Copies of this chain bind each other. A is one copy, B any other.
Amino acid sequence: MDHFADRLADAVRAKGNSVSVGLDPRWELLPKELRLRHGNSDLSSVASAYEEFCNRVIDIVAPLVPVVKAQSAFYEAAGPDAWAALSRILERARQRGLLTIWDGKRNDIAATAAAYAETAFGGALIDGRRHPVLDADAATVNPYLGRDAVEPFLEGAARDGRGVFVLVRTSNPGARQFQDLDCSGRPLFIRVAEAVGAWSREARGRSGFGSVGAVVGATYPAELAALRSVLPAVWFLIPGYGAQGGSAAGTGPAFGDDGLGAVVNSSRGIISSFDPQARDWEASIEAATKQTISDLAAATSMARLADKRAVGL
């Protein structure tokens, strides 16, 4: 498989935007007709409702955006059938030409980290044979444990053409508590960013970007701008846009002049853009996706991607 950073750049260019749609199903926010049809008697019913909903979202957004990101927590909370559904949902997304990000923020050491990397990427190795589990194109990882704990993800990414997005600045209000601690003159999140930059430089694709990216919340535009200068050739995965309060303009510094370099994720703003009672929820998801693309294009150099696409570049 080609280098992840190149596959991402190609996908972004092909769609003319770099929006990621979050596949983060929550029962109370699903369309009511879908909830009624599947029922709420047990978690298996919830899992089947999640799967139908996510499949519809995928079919709606696949012609529009390059990436989907699945938040692991919502599938785990809905029990084993939802975990099984997640792997089928990611498979469907791949079949529709989408790049898939498993947002699990995993972190552990040695053989345990290797097991997470297998879950995310190449699959479990049983007596010499690989058995895919999630088979995602990229995964999110927490850096607190240090490089050796991230290593199995880097190895899996290098071997299988996958990407790793390391948490640098998260989008929550409390991110500052530890991430802003002054570490000998520079805040912790900048220290983490410096390490991410080094890891990313070890495996660059022809696009110039590395297979290791950074998670940077849209809710911290000043920090996002600072991080772009520390990390010039690193893909940013940007959560926190829209429902969490991040603005389109705030993501601007994350984009290069050519419109590459940042993937902006929207979850609730797209997949919960409708009144659950409404029957036209699919039209609402499509409209919200298009609106997200045009809002970001209006405020950032992402617009250049669409321009180039229009003239066939």
Q: Which residues of A are at the interface with B, using a C-beta cutoff of 8 A?
A: 24, 26-28, 40, 42-43, 46, 71, 73-74, 76-81, 83-84, 87, 105-113, 115-116, 118-119, 124, 126-127, 129, 131, 133, 142-149, 167, 170-179, 181-184, 188, 191-192, 195, 244
Contacts and interface: CB of A to CB of B under 8 A. Distances in A.
Given A73-B106, A183-B183, A191-B178, A26 B79 contact: no
Contact of A177 (B40, B81, B84, B146): B146
A232 B159 CA distance: 46
Contact of A112 (B24, B133, B175): B24
Given A73-B119, A77-B124, A108-B73, A172 B191 contact: no
B174 A149 contact: yes
A146 B175 contact: yes
A107 B105 contact: yes
A110 B188 contact: no
Contact of A73 (B116, B176, B178): B116
A73 B40 contact: no
28 contacts: A42-B131, A46-B126, A46-B131, A71-B112, A71-B115, A73-B106, A73-B115, A73-B119, A74-B115, A76-B115, A77-B115, A77-B133, A79-B87, A80-B81, A80-B87, A109-B171, A144-B170, A145-B172, A145-B174, A146-B170, A146-B178, A146-B179, A148-B173, A149-B170, A178-B188, A181-B183, A181-B191, A182-B184
A128 B126 CA distance: 41
A304 to B, nearest CB: 31
Contact of A146 (B43, B129, B176, B244): B176
Given A77-B133, A79-B131, A149-B174, 7 more contacts: A40-B129, A74-B115, A105-B107, A110-B244, A142-B142, A146-B174, A148-B173
A280 B50 CA distance: 45
A192 B170 contact: no
A170 B77 contact: no
A39 to B, nearest CB: 10
Q: Which 8 A-B pairs have the closest CB atoms?
A: A148-B174, A80-B84, A146-B174, A146-B177, A109-B172, A73-B115, A77-B115, A181-B183
Given A80-B87, A112-B71, A174-B148, A124 B179 contact: no
A178 B167 CA distance: 13
Contacts of A142: 105, 107, 142, 144
Nearest to A124: B77
Q: Count chain B CB atoms within 10 A of each CB in A144, A176, A179 and give the residue with the most.
A: A144
Contacts of A177: 146-147, 195
Given A46-B126, A77-B116, A191-B181, A106 B105 contact: yes
Contacts of A174: 145-149
A77 B83 CA distance: 12
Contacts of A78: 124, 133
Contacts of A167: 144-145
